[in-house]
Amino acid sequence: MTTPGERFMTRLVPACTVRGMADQGNLEAPVAEVTAAWERIEQWLCARAPASATLLRPAASDADFTAVEEAIGVAFPPALRAWYSLHDGVDDPEAGKSLWPAGFLPGDQGWYRLEQVESNYIMHTRDWEREPGRIPISCTPGDMWHGLYIDARPDEPPYGRLGRWTVDREPEPIPTSTLGWPLEVWLTEQADALEQDRCLTEPGGWRDEDNWPAVTVCGGLAWVAPGEEPPRPEGRILLGGGPR
């Protein structure tokens, strides 16, 4: 049986031709890092947060990417395309079930499906009049007013890096005062934090004490600040040795 990473690597060349003027090796490295990091995250979810794992959708196809890129007029950075080539985001929980398992990315973020990427990108650039080129990838389940994006402007220094969008202010990189977190580095740090039962550590070594992994009673992954009451009435178990 092939792994998700092995299946994806057979599609590596088309994914890596998005920025033709860049060196091929520079494109392949982030793709490989995304694939390796996500395999670790998915293995952790399957073993310890199955309610989150079951929401993962099948891989996006080349036709899916083409349709979205044509609709928004922006090409996905190779690392972002690699991520969606493993899973097309997550499904919503069934009616009446908890939203907790869907928000398993740091900051209680739910990973957008490509159809949500398209509709939200159009809303951001048309209705909110945001500058084109930043692709929204998530929001808090049940709340469409803030989330994460990946910069897809190939001629700008933050290309391929993580940022935060909100309805009431301009987008900003994560961490602030930087160019942003490269997607492949962000996913690798999540994998490390999950496997080591510790909080996230941002580039530069700053420990993000607001993002410790926890498992909810319904079997979902959440990233929490120790000691804070959960925003929803469900219990959770903090992992690792952080303050309680």
pLDDT tens track for 108-136: 899 999 999 999 999 999 999 999 999 99
Q: 4-238 architecture in CATH? A: 3-Layer(aba) Sandwich (3.40)
Residue type, 59: A
Q: Note the helical H segments in the chain.
A: 4-9, 12-15, 24-48, 50-53, 62-72, 78-84, 114-122, 183-196
CB 143 within 8 Å of CB 123: no
**226/177: higher pLDDT:** 177
Residue 7 has pLDDT above 70, yes or no: no
Lookup result for tokens 């069934």: 94
**241/21: higher pLDDT:** 241
Q: How far apart are CA 123 and CA 145, in angstroms?
A: 11
Q: What is the pLDDT of residues 138-182, one digit of tens each?
A: 999 888 789 999 999 999 999 999 999 999 899 999 998 899 999
Q: How far apart are CA 97 and CA 45, in angstroms?
A: 18
Beta-bridge partner residues of 148:
138, 164
CB 78 within 8 Å of CB 16: yes
**232/220: higher pLDDT:** 220
* pTM (two decimals): 0.84
Q: What are phi and psi of 47, to 5 degrees?
A: -80, -35
Residue type, 113: R
Q: How far apart are CA 195 and CA 150, in angstroms?
A: 25
Q: Which of 189, 223, 220, 194 is nearest to 206 (CA)?
A: 189
pLDDT at 229: 59
Helix (H) or strand (E) holding 221: strand 221-224
Pull the structure tokens for residue 9: 């690597």
Helices 183-196 and 24-48, axial angle in degrees (round to 10): 30
Q: Count, in order, helices (H) and strands (E) of the chain.
A: 8, 11
Q: How far apart are CA 184 and CA 45, in angstroms?
A: 18
Q: What is the pLDDT of residues 81-104, one digit of tens each?
A: 999 999 999 999 887 677 889 999
pLDDT at 14: 34
DSSP character at residue 133: T
Residue percentage of the chain with pLDDT more than 70: 82
Q: How far apart are CA 204 and CA 117, in angstroms?
A: 30
**5/195: higher pLDDT:** 195
Pull the structure tokens for residue 145: 């007013």
